[in-house]
Structures are given as structure tokens and as C-alpha cells.
Amino acid sequence: MSTPGNLRYTRDHSWVLLNGNKATIGLTDHAQKQLGEIVFVELPYKVGDTLGKDEAFGTVESVKAVTELFSPLNGKVAEINETVLDSPDLVNDEPYAGGWFLKITVANPKEVGELLDAAAYDKYCSTEE
């Protein structure tokens, strides 16, 4: 599966794609494989709501488990992927495309530098197995 080269990652298996001061947030391919078939996505926040770094912003339910989603950055919700609410399988089928969850306006873009790059994330995942 191809991924954009400028993604950043968290240790709780979210990815972040920064475009200016907007960050798109999703669940990594590694995480969706570990969870199995995603059957439900809950994103209770609304556009304009403030999110704190490490604050839970929703859940995904798979055939194996319910998992909380955490914001990797401080910011305000700019967009919610309504499509993934109706088609949670997009998280499995297109984790880096149609399966994203939120776009936020980042309060401090420098926080992105605290996230893992692809090599560090791959190394982190290999230590979990």
C-alpha cells in the first residue's frame, strides 16, 4: 500500500498529514491490520470544536475490539469525514485515502516535529510484534 512520504505517526498508530496549518488524521495501515475488519466509527466532535493533544476524539469498533482515537496535535476541528461514518470499511480499504477521520486547524505546527517519521514508526511497530 503506498503512503505519502510526508506522513508523521504516533505511538498509538495514528497518522498525520500536514498541509499548511491543516492536519488530516487517520489510522495507520499497521493498526487497521491489527484490529481486523472495522465495522463502526464514532466521531462525536463537530466542526469548530477544540481538540487537545492526546485527547480522545472518537472510537473505531472492529470485529476484535473497540479502540479510542486520540488527537496527535492541539487544534480546532475543520472537517469531519462523514463518508467513513457510513462506510467504516474505508479504514481497512483506504487507510491513507478515504479512511481518514478528521482535519484540524493546527494550533502549533511545530508540534508535528514531535511525531515519528516513517522510519521511526516502522521501527516502533517492529518492537511491538
CA–CA distance, 34 with 29 (Å, rounded to integer): 9
Question: What are the pLDDT digits (tens) for 24-76?
Answer: 999 999 999 999 999 999 999 999 999 999 999 999 999 989 999 999 999 99
Helical H segments across 67-117, by residue range:
82-86, 90-93
Q: By C-alpha distance, which of 83, 77, 84, 82 is closest to 57? A: 77
Pick the CATH number of 8-128 from 2.40.50.100, 3.90.740.10, 3.90.190.20, 3.40.190.10: 2.40.50.100
pLDDT band, residue 1 (cuts 50/70/90): very low
Looking at residue 6, what is its pLDDT? Answer: 82
What's the predicted TM-score (pTM) here?
0.92
- Model confidence over 74-93: pLDDT tens digits? 999 999 999 999 999 999 99
* Angle at alpha carbon of residue 119, lines to 114 and 122, rounded to 5°: 100
Instruction: For cell 484490529, name the residue.
Output: 35
Domain residue spans of the chain: 8-128
Round to whole Å and give the CA distance between 66 and 104.
23
Length of the chain: 129
User: DSSP H helical segments within 12-89, as ranges?
Assistant: 29-35, 82-86
